């Protein structure tokens, strides 16, 4: 190899046809200089790189080389956020980290990740069938990670800011007509899904709100129901927490028909719980009287009468976008 000095901190390798730019960042704790070498294909590009580095040094924004990989930094970031974010949010972050970021980026240093790398990530994930809504969540997390690294002077800039925003389509919402609603209600009558479905149909409760509803939150005398907590499954664990927003914590009037359904359900439930020696205050239970697994509420159920597959998916999106009307069935169901 023949590497010859072109000018201060720039050398040229006439065998490889590359320019080598040495960037200095001061000295470390041992007194040795902190430096890294960058290669370019032209002298002008090498000079431009050196000028930009010197400008950053003068401005105090030059970032010394770091060995952290994107995967390592992501893991540390999630561990830090675990002290302040909901357990469900951290579970989602860990899923993205383990199943997507680590397999794709491997041991790539965080300082070497470019906007092009992130675009390749999006393209690859899209080719595997991952929805753009899911990919957008990935990019939101990656933006936060890179922004944290930028604030901590680990990187010079956040590469996500160089990318165009991901465009997503709003999911199509199909509403059942009155006949379909009656068929749905009839198909779950007498089953453990009757009360969850009726709470969704009459009041527009989300799945977690249905699973977390307690008898202490229902005032039969005033026909009022309070939404104060939710239950959701995180991995193999069921977590109870407050609703996501202040808007989600609300008070609803219960139609007379639903009041009667709930009273009858409570009577039957108490009988089963006494026989099983169970003590809890949850409204929605399985056939054994134990609190229902939140995921079960979303499970496919078959109508015995018509053998029609009824997907009970009405709970997730409804609460923020409808107003319940006492005494009426509300046709709000998501596909």
pLDDT recorded at residue 32: 86
**What pLDDT was estimated at residue 325?**
36
Taking 50 as the threshold, does the pLDDT of residue 145 lie above it? yes
The pLDDT value recorded for residue 171 is 67
The neighbour count for residue 291, using CB atoms within 10 Å, is 19
Q: Looking at 17-131, list the stretches that DSSP marks H as alpha helix, in order from N- to C-terminal side.
A: 43-59, 70-81, 87-96, 102-105, 115-127
What is the pLDDT confidence band of residue 1, given thresholds at 50, 70 and 90?
A: low
CA gap 314, 294 in Å, rounded: 13
Q: Are residues 25 and 64 in contact, defined by beta-carbon separation less than 8 angstroms? A: yes
User: Strand 250-253's sheet: what is its strand order?
Assistant: 218-219, 224-227, 250-253
Burial of 333 (0-12, 13-18, 19+ CB in 10 A): buried
Q: Return the axis-axis angle of helices 70-81 and 132-151, rounded to nearest 10°.
A: 90
Reported as a pLDDT band with limits 50, 70 and 90, residue 96 is: very high
Contact 308, 187 (CB under 8 A): yes
pLDDT at 12: 95
Please give the pLDDT value at position 161: 94
| Region for 39 from its dihedrals, namely left if φ exceeds 0, alpha if ψ lies in -120 to 50, beta otherwise | beta
- pLDDT above 90 covers a percentage of the chain that reads 53
* Residue 222, number of CB atoms within 10 A of its CB: 10
218-253: pLDDT as tens digits: 999 999 999 998 998 888 888 888 887 878 889 999
């Amino acid at each position: 190899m023949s590497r010859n000095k072109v000018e201060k901190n720039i050398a040229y390798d006439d065998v490889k046809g590359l320019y080598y730019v040495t960037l200095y960042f001061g000295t470390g704790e041992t007194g040795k200089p902190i430096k890294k070498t960058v290669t370019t294909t032209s002298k002008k590009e090498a000079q431009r790189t050196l000028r930009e580095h010197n400008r950053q040094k003068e401005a105090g924004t030059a970032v010394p080389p770091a060995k952290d990989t994107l995967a390592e930094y992501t893991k540390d970031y999630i561990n830090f956020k675990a002290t302040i974010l909901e357990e469900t949010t951290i579970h989602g972050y860990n899923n993205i980290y383990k199943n997507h970021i680590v397999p794709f980026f491997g041991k790539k240093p965080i300082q070497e990740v470019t906007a092009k790398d992130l675009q390749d990530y999006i393209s690859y994930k899209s080719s595997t069938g991952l929805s753009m809504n899911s990919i957008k969540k990935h990019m939101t997390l990656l933006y936060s990670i890179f922004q944290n690294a930028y604030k901590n002077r680990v990187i010079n800039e956040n590469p996500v800011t160089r990318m165009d925003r991901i465009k997503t389509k709003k999911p199509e919402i199909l509403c059942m007509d009155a006949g379909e609603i009656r068929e749905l209600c009839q198909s779950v009558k007498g089953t453990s899904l009757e009360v969850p479905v009726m709470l969704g149909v009459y009041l527009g409760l989300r799945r977690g709100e249905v699973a977390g509803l307690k008898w202490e939150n229902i005032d039969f005398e005033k026909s009022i129901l309070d939404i104060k907590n939710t239950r959701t499954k995180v991995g193999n664990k069921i977590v109870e927490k407050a609703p996501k927003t202040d808007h989600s914590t609300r008070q609803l009037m219960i139609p007379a028909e639903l009041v009667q359904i709930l009273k009858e359900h409570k009577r039957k439930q108490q009988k089963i719980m006494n026989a099983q020696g169970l003590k809890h205050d949850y409204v929605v239970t399985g056939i054994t009287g134990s609190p229902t697994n939140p995921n079960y509420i979303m499970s496919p159920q078959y109508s015995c009468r018509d053998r029609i597959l009824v997907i009970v998916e009405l709970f997730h999106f409804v609460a923020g976008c409808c107003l319940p009307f006492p005494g009426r069935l509300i046709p709000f169901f998501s596909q």
